[in-house]
Amino acid sequence: MADTFLLKIVTPDKDIFNGNIKRIFLKNSVGRLEILANHANMVTSTISSIVEFTDADGKDRKLFISKGIASIFNNEMTIFSESAEFSDNIDLNRAEKAKERAEKRLLEGNKYDKERAELALLRSIERINLKKMN
């Protein structure tokens, strides 16, 4: 059995990553998942979070993904996400301003705005956390 599997991370705009990895940690609405090579086929939703994986060379990598879908089939995993960014591509000032806007909307908004603001706040916090890790 192989100890690696193919990971593809795709957004509507571009392919973010395409390569073999040893393991990945990601989050869905239930909790944190660890996926290793030869995992059973499955599909799950993902939430905005920091994804951590170890590439085939043993290098640990982290990136932010927004909500999406992850599918595993025949030792290949594809994550389809609205957006995904490695730390190098995150603008910390922009993320902090997005966080401030979301916090303000939470204080002012109606139920619909509140839900959107909560999601925006989660995205901005995760981006900030990732940027500050590096």
Q: What is the pTM of this model?
A: 0.85
Give me the residue spans of the domains in the chain. 5-87, 90-133
pLDDT band at 21 (very low <50, low <70, confident <90, very high): very high
Query: Under CATH, which number does the domain 90-133 receive?
Result: 1.20.5.440
Write the CATH number of the domain with boundaries 5-87.
2.60.15.10
SS3 string, 71-130, reads: EEECCEEEEEECCEEEHHHCCHHHHHHHHHHHHHHHHHCCHHHHHHHHHHHHHHHHHHHH
- Give the pLDDT score at 22: 98
How confident is the model at residue 116, as a pLDDT?
84
